[in-house]
Amino acid sequence: MKRLKIVVMGLVLIGFFGFSQLEASANASDMHNGSTGQNVNNLQSTLKKMGYFHTGVTGYYGPITETAVTKFQRDFGIPATGYTGPLTRGMIEKVHRMARVVHGEARGESYTGQVAVAAVILNRVDSPHFPNTISNVIFQRNAFTAVNDGQYWLTPNASAYRAVKDAMLGWDPSSGATYYYNPAHVSDNWIFSRTVIKQIGKHHFAY
């Protein structure tokens, strides 16, 4: 479902701009074969956490990095150029933001529970009752405890990145939930009015 949404969004962009032209737009932030530096280092680290980059982080954008980027692009419905145009950079930024929420909210939970938290973010994007972008969902007032208490800014681990990847590619262990909470740490009893779908670890998932 989530992968379909990503692909459909890409098709909309095709109609307005042309898919390959949009990804090929020149930008100083683009990275490609031969690029070096901290930005490449960060890219490789992210791709490694997501399971696309299988060697040590070097800060050099060579054939191994190009292959990893291409695989990422194919999975997320982006033109497989092998370099980081604006669509690729934008998708990686979405992954970063979701991984911060998952790490801040569910790093003590099972892997399935982490994927479920990531899925809730995407379910909210799909819902007419919430903002329609990942960033606006995450930063909606009082939406996530991790944003309020600063845990959002912790560095996410590989498990959080893989959980986001799995959720964005279609796995939803929450069964469509748009809320989750730990009953032991509820500060607003309003959440108990929501219909609970299932429990995964300490989190109750509801709509």
The sheet with strand 196-200 has its strands ordered as 179-181, 203-206, 196-200
164, 102 in Cβ contact below 8 A?
yes
Summarised one tens digit per residue, pLDDT across range 108-164 is 999 999 999 999 999 999 999 999 999 999 999 999 999 999 999 999 999 999 999
Single-letter amino acid code for the residue at 147: V
Q: What is the pLDDT of residue 167?
A: 98
CATH of domain 108-157+173-206: 1.10.10.2520
pLDDT confidence band for 7 (50 / 70 / 90): very low
Q: Which two tokens stand for residue 22?
A: 């949009």
Q: What is the pLDDT of residue 15?
A: 44
* Rounded Cα–Cα distance for residues 74 and 82 (Å): 10
Q: Lowest-pLDDT range, 24-33, 66-75, 101-110?
A: 24-33
Mean pLDDT (the chain) is 90
Q: Which two tokens stand for residue 53?
A: 């980059």
Q: Give the residue extent of every domain in the chain.
A: 108-157+173-206
Closest C-alpha to 60, from 32, 80, 87: 32
* Rounded Cα–Cα distance for residues 103 and 146 (Å): 9
Summarised one tens digit per residue, pLDDT across range 180-193 is 999 998 888 999 99
